[in-house]
Chain A
């Protein structure tokens, strides 16, 4: 499928390396921060989220770090594999007490390319 990442930042890594994808956010009132993965020709797929009162959360091969002081979010992928090649988006959710449930604000996105 056609890439949607023509103008997005890029990160190229070798298979087996660790990858770090960064994201800056703007809304200090956001409750949750989420990472999505979008493969070519597909819709985004949820990877992991972190609540605003946490600074680190680990999943399977992925770790998300949240630095609220500088409004920075990162996704670390361990032992990156060719199947990890995709566009990665951060997203924010400000639920506003439940009135904005599910409304996500997506960040710019980063193209990750993993070379075998």
Chain B
């Protein structure tokens, strides 16, 4: 299994600012995923981050709002730009496991935008 850590674990931010969330994995992985979990909701995939290429964004998510970096095989960042209260969510990163459908998730970053 993979051990994933995220920083920060939570933050309270002002509208109009940006926050960068870090995701660190204890092993090298090709693919990393970023999800959003809005209050009382399920998880929605934001983008897939592959090392050495541009992230692939899902419908409804754009790079200008959620820029992603993937500098190496163990690390990725997601930035939430120009935040509004609607961006208040838990943001999670995940990596695939050895079992086809198993993904290991980080603990999440709980973001509150005032």
SS of A interface (majority): loop
Which of A11-19, A70-78, A101-109 forms part of the interface with chain B? A101-109
For A34, A41, A43, A45, the residue with the greatest tally of chain B CB atoms inside 10 Å of its CB is A43
Chain B contact surface mostly: strand
**B23 smallest CB distance to A (angstroms):** 11
Q: Mark A38-62, 1 if CB is under 8 A from B, else 0.
A: 0001111110010000000000000
Chain B residue with the shortest CB-CB distance to A2: B110
Please give, as numbers and ranges, the residues of chain A lying within 8 Å of B90 by CB-CB distance.
Answer: 4
Given A105-B45, A108-B42, residue A4 in contact with residue B37 (CB < 8 A): yes
Bound: A93/B110 CA distance, A: 26
Residues of chain A contacted by B94 (CB below 8 angstroms):
43
How many residues in A have their beta carbons less than 8 Å from beta carbons of B? 27
Interface pair A7/B106, CB less than 8 Å apart = no
- Using a CB–CB cutoff of 8 Å, the interface residues on chain B facing chain A are 4, 31, 33, 37, 39-45, 48, 90, 92, 94, 96-97, 99-108, 110
Q: 4 closest pairs, A vs B, by CB? A: A43-B105, A7-B40, A6-B40, A46-B102
**A interface residues with partner B (beta carbon < 8 Å):** 2, 4-8, 32, 34, 41-46, 49, 89, 91, 93, 101-109
